[in-house]
Amino acid sequence: MIVLDRLTKRYGNAVSVDQLSLTVPTGSICALVGASGGGKTTTLRLINRLIEPDEGRVLIDGTDAASLAPVALRRHIGYVIQSVGLFPHWNVARNIATVPNLLGWKRDRIERRIDELLDLVGLDPASYRDRRPHELSGGQQQRVGVARALAADPDLLLMDEPFGALDPVTRDGLQLALLDIQARTGKTIVIVTHDIDEAIRLASLIAVLDGGRLIQHGSPHDLLARPANAFVEAFVGGPQRGLRLLQVTRVRERTDFGESIGGTPIDADVTLDIALERMVTTGAHRLPVYDRAADRYGTLALADIALRNGRQA
């Protein structure tokens, strides 16, 4: 668990991070979002002490980060940045082995780990191990960047706009890969992004920062359903907000399980946007729903897709 406790960072008279407190539970993905200059990156760099706070503390699993040597601390925290920053004079294998080498792992353990990680990020070890970074596409480079960050099996992964420089298709693939990796490894991930769709897609916890202050934090659904103010509302999508809300709400939450109708049922665990798409394309106002977990049937009505009372889910 990562606890940011009243963190403040000033540059001259400008406050970059202002009394920011936030708790990221172990095993969750927390997205720091907001306009540029809002203090997202500074906050991230305060966690691994690339920047030292003027006030406040960072607690990592209860230990004050300030009590650890910065270099040792960073070797136990994964770090991925937008420009990837692979070492151009080293091949892929040596890049991935960076932190294990720093930690003095045994040669054969490192070799095994390199292959394992290349598999994990979806690159064939045999054909990618010996390549130089300039021989890889942007997406492949960032896959290696993620593998490098995970090399020493850190519990915490910090990512600063990791997919910001990639084209939409590549970004999509890497987001799915990251979700898959997180599901398999249970890492705690803090990710900085200015892309609200990326935050909604990846994060279980979104923290909206503006002017160095934490404006609102909560699940994607919370933020979309109940934005705390006009800034958050504008940021989470303005006119798109309702459509995005559909993407984070499951069919089961709006299904009337007391009633069942005929037809091919839709899974209760898919999101509402998929159900709505089906209604739009088939002309149906009601869809049969099957709840696999409880082995029961229900009905989803078009009218129930809307927010109740205009706000509550």
Which positions touch another protein (CB under 8 A)? 48, 50, 71-76, 79, 81-89, 98-99, 102, 132, 134, 145, 148-149, 158
Residue 210: Cβ within 10 Å count: 20
Task: Work out how close the CB of 144 gets to another protein at its nearest, in angstroms, rounded to a whole number.
Answer: 11
Closer residue to another protein, CB minimum distance, 40 or 241: 40
Q: Report the distance separating Cα 101 and Cα 95, nearest Å.
A: 10
Task: Work out how close the CB of 188 gets to another protein at its nearest, in angstroms, rounded to a whole number.
Answer: 16
Two tokens at 43? 């906050």
Task: Work out how close the CB of 79 gets to another protein at its nearest, in angstroms, rounded to a whole number.
Answer: 4
Non-local CB neighbours of 303 within 8 Å, separated by 6+ positions: 285
Task: Work out how close the CB of 182 gets to another protein at its nearest, in angstroms, rounded to a whole number.
Answer: 19
Two tokens at 277? 């798409």
Closer residue to another protein, CB minimum distance, 36 or 264: 36
Closer residue to another protein, CB minimum distance, 148 or 171: 148
Closer residue to another protein, CB minimum distance, 174 or 300: 174
Closer residue to another protein, CB minimum distance, 158 or 248: 158
Task: Work out how close the CB of 89 gets to another protein at its nearest, in angstroms, rounded to a whole number.
Answer: 5
Q: Report the distance separating Cα 110 and Cα 153, nearest Å.
A: 12
DSSP class of 103: H
Closer residue to another protein, CB minimum distance, 149 or 232: 149
Two tokens at 111? 């070799």
Which helix (H) or strand (E) is 193 found in, with range?
Answer: none
Task: Work out how close the CB of 56 gets to another protein at its nearest, in angstroms, rounded to a whole number.
Answer: 21
What string of H, E and C letters represents the secondary structure of 139-181?
Answer: HHHHHHHHHHHHCCCCCEEEEECCCCCCCHHHHHHHHHHHHHH
Closer residue to another protein, CB minimum distance, 129 or 252: 129
Let me know: does 197 contact 244? Beta carbons within 8 Å.
Answer: yes
Backbone phi and psi for residue 236, each to the nearest 5 degrees, phi listed first: -80, 5
Residue 300 buriedness (CB in 10 A; 0-12 / 13-18 / 19+): buried
Task: Work out how close the CB of 72 gets to another protein at its nearest, in angstroms, rounded to a whole number.
Answer: 7
Two tokens at 270? 């898919």
